[in-house]
Amino acid sequence: MSTDTRRQVMLITGGGRGIGAATAELAAARGYDLVLAYRADAAAAESVAEAARSVGARVEVVQADVSEEASVLALFARLDEVFGRLDVLVNNAGVLDRSQPFVEYTAERMKRIFETNVFGAFLVAREAVRRMSTAAGGRGGSIVNVSSAAARMGAPNEYVDYAASKGAMDSMTLGLSKELAPLGIRVNAVRPGLIHTDIHASGGRPDRVEALSAQVPMARGGTATEVAEAIVWLASGAASYTTGALLDVSGGR
């Protein structure tokens, strides 16, 4: 059993809004210090940070575009400087594009989705593993990937490219969980269903959760906090024998 009594440090990408912000709030309340990475909305990230600080967390807010390797390296350089340790990575940053028929997808659209959701998640995970791996002198740790129920449903007529990017994230979760277990790192994913956040507006359908909630056995959309509860559990020592899990948080859909 670890004798390390210092506060654990959690890095959350896309920590300024939606599921990332709810995860930050819950993790701060559970005693984590935080690095909140945002791409564009600095004010949102700062307001999440203030709330986390008010419950005792030490929080560093860093601008970083996960799809840019140089930006990811700068994010980790800042993390090293400020905290000098990393215990949990929540790979949460993600984008989708407008709901539209497959034949209308542009190369630019598909590239943006895969560069953020897949390559971004890989780059951030690689840097996290370089710091957490017991083989590299780290203390081990935990990675939680924020995938989507779309990975198993496919999102036809909406965004199959987004669904496929989350399928890639599931494969990454399975592969890395096996490769990294001997290095002291657990890797899991949550697969949220229809959750009330701004992401649906970014796909041109702000009312999407309400419109589709009749398809949910629990007959409602979920909250970002309900997803955060699963993320924080998977991240924590309470999930110490859980790795390679793809945990649906989708009301049964």
Rounded to a whole number of angstroms, the minimum distance from the CB of residue 121 to ligand NAP is 9
Determine whether 241 is an active site residue. Answer: no
Q: What's the CA gap between 189 and 91, in Å, rounded?
A: 9
- How many residues interact with ligand NAP (rule CB under 6 A)? 31
| Angle formed at CA 102 by CA 98 and CA 107, multiple of 5 degrees | 75
The piece of 8-16, 24-32, 134-142, 175-183 that touches ligand NAP (CB under 6 A) is 8-16
Restricted to residues 192-211, the positions that interact with ligand NAP (CB under 6 A) are 192, 194-195, 197-199, 202
* Choice between 19 and 35, CB closer to ligand NAP: 19
* Helix, strand or coil, per DSSP, at residue 34: strand
Q: Which of residues 153-172 bind ligand NAP (CB under 6 A)?
A: none
Supply the Cα-derived Rg of the chain in whole angstroms: 17
Work out how close the CB of 6 gets to ligand NAP at its nearest, in angstroms, rounded to a whole number. Answer: 27
Stretch that binds ligand NAP, among 13-21, 78-86, 133-141, 171-179 (CB under 6 A): 13-21
Binding mask 94-113 for ligand NAP (x = CB under 6 A): xx------------------
- Residues whose CB falls within 8 Å of the CB of residue 181, separated by 6 or more in sequence, listed in order: 243
Q: CB of 230 within 8 A of CB of 247? A: yes
Q: CB of residue 156 vs ligand NAP: minimum separation in angstroms? A: 16
- Element housing 204 (H / E): none
Confirm if 132 and 184 have CB atoms less than 8 A apart.
yes
Token pair 């780290």 is at which residue? 138
Which strands make up the sheet holding 185-192, listed edge to edge? Answer: 59-63, 33-38, 9-13, 88-91, 141-146, 185-192, 246-249
Shortest distance, position 192 Cβ to ligand NAP, whole Å: 4
- Of 185 and 199, the one with the shorter C-beta distance to ligand NAP is 199
Characterize 27-47 residue by residue with b for buried, 16 or more Cβ atoms within 10 angstroms of its Cβ, and e for exposed.
Answer: bbeeebbbbbbbbeeeebbee
- Using CB under 6 A, pick the residue from 11, 18, 163, 232 that binds ligand NAP: 18
- Point out which residues bind ligand NAP (CB under 6 A): 13-14, 16-20, 38-41, 44, 64-67, 92-95, 116, 120, 146, 148, 192, 194-195, 197-199, 202
